[in-house]
Amino acid sequence: MRTERHNHYEAMFLISQATAADMNGAMEHIRGLLDRAQAEVVALKKWDERRLAFEIGGQKRAVFILCYFKAPALKMVDFDRDCNLSEKIMRVLVTKADHLTIEEMQSADSRQAMADEAALRRMGEDSEEPEFIEEEV
């Protein structure tokens, strides 16, 4: 019986600012796509929010999400198709991550920071800055 080959991959997802307003929803969507591809997430982080060189679907800015994962090589065609059909993902680029060690991939993980940012976004960007109460020593 032949064993299925697994590779480590690096993916850069571009999502619109409107989609990024619900960061938890966007992350769950990406995790769902990765689950369908039987991928094991090694690291996931918000890389940056930038102005695009050219408009994509009328959008001038996008949020870049970097993901390192391990997945079966045969599932990558389906994963790519699912990403291209997704309405939440503007673009995706997937490459093999042979140039990185597992430790280097894991060092890029900032899932907790993304969860914190999602919580802040839920609280509302229009709300006033929180007041800090000084405690007497």
Q: pLDDT tens digits for 97-132? A: 988 778 878 887 777 777 777 777 677 655 555 555
Tokens, residue 33: 């796509």
Three-class DSSP category at 38: coil
Contacts of 34 (CB under 8 A, 6+ apart): 41, 67, 69, 71, 79
**Sequence spans of domains, the chain:** 6-123
pTM above 0.85, yes or no: no
Q: What is the pLDDT of residues 21-49, one digit of tens each?
A: 888 899 999 999 999 999 999 999 999 99
Tell me the one-letter amino acid at 15.
Answer: I
Specify the length of the chain in residues. Answer: 137
Architecture of domain 6-123: 2-Layer Sandwich (3.30)
